[in-house]
Structure 1
Amino acid sequence: MNHRLHVVSTRLRAILRMSAGTRPDSAPWTRPLIGWLVTGLLLGVCAVTPLTHPAEAAKLEDRIVAVVNSDLIMWSELKRDLLPDQERLRKLYKGEELERRLKTAEAIAVTKMIERKLQLQAAKNKGVDVSDQEVAQAMEEMKKQGEALNSTDPNTARNVREQLTLMRVVDREVRGLIMVAESEMKRYYQEHQDRFAYPEEYQLSQILIKPRTPDGLSAAQGRAEALLATLKQGEPFEDLAIRFSDGADASRGGRLGLVRQGELIPALEQALTSLQVGQVTGIVETAEGLHIVRVDDKKPRQFRPFEQVKAEIQTLVFQQKTEDQYQIWMADLKNKAYIEIKF
């Protein structure tokens, strides 16, 4: 399939990603393929070897790469699918690393093509069809979205028809079977509560001491230590900030105002984690200088209520269940299929 032809919609992009077998929490795509080879679910499989260099390949006649039930995958198809990835990889890598990544790309491409054949066969067996009018409408919509389509090329219409068919058969065999219960959403909320938390908020004040010469860090450290000692003796933080801080907020008594967790420099964020209201950090060094920070107020992390995030959770659970069901469906198609890799 021509990879320059983009998918019709976000749903179609998700379906095609699933057909590559890539999930954030799944094993590498190669693991199921290797598993089939070992257990014999792929019948009559020959050793998988890397494709020849394009210059050498041009001298070879087209040949069968894989048999998927009654369909063939030809070397010319695989070469066309691989070309964009090969060009990208050759710009980024060299030597053994390039060869390793090319082999991986070849195996990924073969797996995707086998899965695509199986899905299209399933669509045909189930009577899933896409009309010429639907193909034309999809192409018009893609053009409106800025896709560069060659409408006179028959391969373009065929590719669009295939993509629409893939989307439709997955909708029927996978997405249409998914239901999300209230209990599942509540369980997801409890197990992923951090995802629905508001960040902690701080009201902060600081004294910033900057080195006054390129090699003046030691002198700045001495000044900061003296100020910290004065603070411990009870001198008002605001007075010291006005008199000695090099920060832009010095005239306001060092008040930084409201700062949310994640907005601070990591070193300062870490120093504030265990402090209570009214407490002061030690001397924290950053690229900006030496900081002494006081926590004026602290709003603990709060969680968005379930009812507020219910629709969001429903979408997340639906997506997860769809991916799981898709993997089950694909495994069933593969287990029932005759698949022979010949290259």
Structure 2
Amino acid sequence: MGVAMVRRRGLAALFGAVVAGLSAPPADAERLDALAAVVGTGAITCYEFEQAVDTMIRQLKMAGSPVPPRPQVERRVLRAKIDEQLQLQRARQLKLKVDDDEIEQAMAEVEQRNNIPAGSLPDVLRMQGVDFADYREQLRRQLLINKVVDVDLRSKIQVSEESMREYYRKYLANPEPMREVRLARILLALPSEPTPERVERARRRLERIRRRIIGGEKISALAPLLSDGPRASSGGDLGWHFPGAMPKPLRKFLEGPVGSVSAPIRLADGMNLIQITDERWHKPKVGKPYDEVHARHILLRIPEGADEATRARIRYRAEQIAQEMKKASDEEFATRAKEISQGPSSERGGDLGWFRRGEMAKPFEQAAFSLPVGGTSGVVETSFGLHIIRVVGRRHVDPNAFEVHKPKIEQQLRALELRDQMPRWLASLRQNTVVERRSCGVAPDHTPHHASGGRSAAPADG
């Protein structure tokens, strides 16, 4: 599972992948010590390698996909494990670490996304025969790889204002329905300056794979074994795309029907084979403009079951605070909120951010939307307690405007660029690291992994 290829959105999938990778019978002592490969300053044991091979075979069977001969699976898995080692060693070079708090947060998100009661993940893992300590270590590795990608790739990706506006004009500003296609691909990565012979070998290999897909084999079953792409372990699935947003060499092909398989296409990241696996018609949502308010508040809670005298005392205090805050600056209001507010926003000076109608309790909403910027309310009672509200700002929002869509557009364009850069980055790590393969009965992998003249024949594709 290439968690380096995704940000936290993949934690639910990560749960399944890590569990699958750890659910295996114990190995004998010799297999624990034997090495499948030495990668730079690290190593891959025969035990973890064979675990990963068995996992991939199980996943193919569960998906109902044809299972290739084991040697072919072994070649693919060995390459994936080598890539994992390369990324972990890069993390050490950068002195990156994952602390316990980050692991705990990731596990909490795994529980939430998989509808597991809070704190129950260790029990769920034990029921599936997974050692919790092993799970934590695998999760730590995956989070560490994600940090490496952040430093080496994500942080350096720049998306121009012009490209975001162009995307908006083409796909969001026009209310007419537009076709989206779901794509899958098999990528054969190429170095930055490949020889013509290397390019031709990749092209011929993809032609053979293309004939297999046209003959009825599923690209989703072939991609985990043959593709160098970051989504290979997910069947090569690239998700949904507008054809016009894809690289120019693909656009004509993407006008074809579902099931179409492209000829080999050379792009920046290597030689690609693309299949259109599904289609849908996207109609941009046209929303009505609305108003938003940015507010702070000071909250005084009323204890459950409080008697009338207690309630009166708390209200009197709230009215005094409201009177004091009428002439206070926003900075003074924020300071006072930090000191005395009993709500979760107190650490932020009572800042509630921007909200629209329907997002707050009705009495709170009515008071906030009736105040001018800089205005302070009297005491407002809701089920949470007694509030004093300060309006910091007001704005009119057009949900169809570029500015509203801009963060999501930027995220999409950055993800596309990361997907293109990832194979080249991995290739550069391989090029600069010496890899020594040992014997676990592994079928030879003839893919070069180091700069000093590795064998150049591509691995067989079936």
Please indicate the TM-score interval, normalised by the length of the shorter structure: 0.3 to 0.5
Higher helix share goes to which structure?
1
Of Structure 1 and Structure 2, the greater strand share is in 2
Compute the TM-score of the two structures, normalised by the length of structure 1: 0.46
* TM-score, structure 2 normalization: 0.35
